[in-house]
């Protein structure tokens, strides 16, 4: 296995590093790195700067703003972006609905939505999960009935992340309730959030923040031409979308940055005659996490090298599983370093604590979600067992 970048890839990596650290304002990157409540304005500003430079949607088709990059170049782009604390392109736009419209949408839909989606002139949210239809997504019950040239939508979605900022929602709806299998008869609709009959209700999370919502549809009328792909083939589109969602979900750059920050906190904390970092058990924990992170990064590179075209390597499920676990481990360790200070969990502006200590516990609690979204870790284990190891349940 080649462990050194080629001259070409090393130059590409430096190009990305230079752009992210000089063209994205430092104050914006500092706010993102500090944690706390997500700023919609920061996400918009970052994505528009990236899009102006042609770096917002590199995995899209070239005609719609994509780059003909290798999988390794995509990895380097993401790693450098995360290392520089640049707010990434909004996943609902860049990684989910954008590729769906580019692949399954009509020409009119592509021209209407893709440029605005890349530039975040439209903020999308995801209408997939429902009460009793999360990991078992095929059990969804939100229905759409064709009435003339409009769909009439009724039902409820939940865990709609950042839906309070959204202009549009892409939703899975059941259009053929009598289909013989529950995966059949589902369609993919694009719905303007300003349409009468839509209600967004916030869900307050354990970290105290408002990140997810319930979305209710009460006789919402949607133009028929906002159906993407074939009627009743939404499950195929959903699988395509979720496959894209899982690509790049091992946030190696983010974990590296969080671990380096934790080491800085430990080095600054006094313990006896020395610092917390000099405590043998603390040093051993850092060594263990750094070793696991190095193994994860090598696996990311191996998956990138084995992926062909737009289809991710099946081993990408390993990245989702280990990436989410290791990220959670680092945030949990940061709480340990903060010690009793982590018990007072506040937003940095509301406390005299150092900002990192104030958000240590909320950040840890917030990222418990990482082992659920994008296909729960239990689902990933099933994929690894059956699709990679060839085990049958």
pLDDT tens for the chain, 393 residues long, are 556 788 999 999 999 999 999 999 999 999 998 876 779 999 999 999 999 999 999 999 999 999 999 888 988 899 899 999 999 999 999 999 999 999 999 999 999 999 999 999 999 999 999 998 877 888 999 999 999 999 999 999 999 999 999 999 999 999 999 998 988 999 999 999 999 999 999 998 888 888 899 999 999 999 999 999 999 999 999 988 887 665 556 788 889 999 999 999 999 999 989 999 999 999 999 999 999 999 998 888 887 766 665 555 667 788 889 999 999 999 999 999 999 888 876 665 666 778 888 889 989 998 998 888 777 888 888 888 887 888 876
Q: What is the pTM of this model?
A: 0.87
Residues 125, 130, 133, 139: what is their CA dihedral angle, to the nearest 10 degrees?
-100
Predicted pLDDT at 308: 61
Residue 57 pLDDT: 97
pLDDT at position 132, please? 85
Buried-state track 166-200, b at ≥16 Cβ within 10 A, e below 16: bebbbbbbbbeeeeeebeebbbbbbbebeeeebeb
Which are the contacts of 218, defined by CB distance < 8 A and separation ≥ 6? 154, 197, 198, 199
Rg value, the chain, Cα: 22
CA 42 to the chain's CA centroid: 16
pLDDT score recorded for residue 234: 95
Q: Where are the alpha helices (DSSP H) in the chain?
A: 7-22, 26-34, 40-52, 71-83, 91, 98-104, 107-118, 234-246, 252-268, 280-306, 316-338, 355-358, 360-366, 377-383
Q: Where are the domains of the chain?
A: 7-89, 124-232, 249-389
d(CA 234, CA 216): 20
Fold of 249-389: Butyryl-CoA Dehydrogenase, subunit A; domain 3 (1.20.140)
> What is the distance between the alpha carbons of residues 138 and 142, in angstroms, rounded to a whole number?
11
Residues 6+ apart with CB under 8 A from 242: 374, 375
What angle in degrees, to the nearest 10, is found between the helix axes of 71-83 and 7-22?
A: 30
State the pLDDT at residue 2.
57
Candidate list 245, 297, 310, 332, residue with the active-site label: 245
Strands 168-174 and 124-127, bridge-based pairing = parallel
Angle made by CA atoms 50, 52, 54, in degrees to the nearest 5 = 70
CATH superfamily of 124-232: Butyryl-CoA Dehydrogenase, subunit A, domain 2 (2.40.110.10)
Provide the pLDDT for residue 311: 58
- The residue to which tokens 């009743």 are assigned: 232
- Catalytic residue check, 245: yes
CA 356, CA 367: separation in Å to the nearest integer? 15
């Amino acid at each position: 296995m080649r462990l050194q970048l080629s001259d070409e890839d090393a130059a590409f990596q430096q190009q990305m590093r230079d752009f992210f650290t000089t063209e994205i304002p430092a104050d914006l990157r500092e706010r993102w790195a500090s944690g706390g409540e997500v700023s919609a304005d920061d996400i918009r500003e970052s994505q528009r700067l990236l899009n102006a430079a042609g770096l917002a949607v590199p995995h899209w088709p070239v005609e719609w703003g994509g780059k003909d990059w290798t999988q390794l170049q995509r990895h380097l782009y993401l790693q450098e972006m995360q290392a520089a604390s640049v707010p990434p392109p909004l996943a609902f736009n860049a990684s989910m609905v954008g590729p769906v419209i580019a692949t399954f949408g009509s020409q009119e839909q592509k021209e209407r939505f893709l440029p605005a989606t890349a530039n975040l002139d439209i903020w999308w949210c995801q209408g997939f999960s429902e009460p009793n239809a999360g990991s078992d997504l095929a059990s969804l019950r939100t229905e759409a009935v064709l009435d003339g040239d409009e769909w009439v939508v009724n039902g409820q979605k939940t865990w709609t992340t950042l839906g309070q900022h959204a202009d549009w929602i892409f939703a899975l709806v059941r259009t053929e309730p009598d289909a013989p299998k529950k995966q059949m008869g589902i369609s993919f609709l694009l719905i303007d959030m300003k349409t009468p009959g839509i209600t967004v209700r916030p869900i307050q999370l354990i970290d105290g923040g408002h990140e997810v919502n319930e979305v209710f549809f009460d006789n919402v009328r949607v133009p028929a031409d906002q159906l993407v792909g074939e009627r009743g083939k939404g499950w195929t589109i959903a699988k395509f979308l979720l496959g894209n969602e899982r690509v790049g979900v091992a946030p190696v750059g983010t974990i590296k940055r969080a671990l380096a920050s934790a080491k800085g906190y430990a080095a600054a904390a006094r313990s006896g005659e020395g610092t917390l970092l000099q405590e043998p058990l603390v040093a051993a924990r850092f060594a263990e996490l750094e070793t696991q992170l190095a193994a994860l990064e090598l696996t990311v590179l191996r998956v990138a090298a084995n992926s062909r075209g737009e289809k991710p390597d099946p081993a990408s499920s390993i990245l989702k599983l280990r990436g989410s676990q290791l990220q959670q481990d680092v945030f949990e360790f940061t709480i340990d370093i903060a010690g009793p200070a982590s018990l007072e969990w506040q937003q940095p502006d509301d406390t005299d604590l150092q900002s990192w200590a104030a958000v240590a516990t909320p950040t840890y609690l917030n990222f418990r979600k990482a082992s659920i979204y994008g296909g729960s870790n239990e689902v990933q284990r099933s994929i690894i067992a059956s699709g990679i190891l060839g085990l049958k349940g």
